[in-house]
Structure 1
């Protein structure tokens, strides 16, 4: 988690597969994901739909317009946004306050599973499984409370890593 905390910016391509119990076929999308420490996260699909998160604000952009929300007004949204941002930021203390953590290290990477401690959040999603290598998050798997599942794979990542004051920042290709 310490190496994740040194990443101040991530730019990546994503492929997402959403399996909904109401549909016979999964929904698939792809696009661009961006993270900028400490709390900016955006996901823009190749079709132009976007989710922009900045601080306590979230903006949903679809073909039919924009919707703006305050994250703190929606507990479920706050729970999943916090899980993603705190993981990107390597903020273990913040994660421990709201989730039971199961961290597994392997020679080829690591896995972090987050299970919500609060009933309200647990009703909306059962777990978030995150896989990565070193300071990179490669896969996200969100199991929702109703059994629906979202799987996202991040590829072609470019990271800006800042190890600390006076050490300079370095980017990855």
Structure 2
């Protein structure tokens, strides 16, 4: 989803790709804009429930152990197999931008100043699954899949952030 805000907040000029994922860079840019008293419009990309765990994690360069603790399936690799049955072969060890498919070009076309997503998974390779039925995780070594999309902020305030404990 793209949203545009006008005049209600001090906002920085568009960030250059690669820098927008650096939170201290963003904080400095926003603070500088506020100090200068610049009120601008800002185009936002907002997305909920970005799920980079289970099958997605399995096709990235650094997959976690595929064991999952669900009633339906016991291996995240089975989700990849289900997708392959529906859509054909899926490569493994894919480049970071691969998981975004055609969406990445559309996001780029809209030129958002900031990209914010709800990351619906824990970023961990450690811990034990909490006894809740569905536990998502992505190996932190695969975080490049988020930076490849220019994500500037991942919201983690959801029911999966502690799926694998507090470690």
Q: TM-score range by the shorter chain?
A: under 0.3
The structure that is helix-richer by fraction is 2
Work out which of the two has the higher radius of gyration on C-alpha atoms and give 1 or 2: 2
- TM-score by length of structure 1 reads 0.27
The structure that is strand-richer by fraction is 1
- TM-score by length of structure 2 reads 0.27
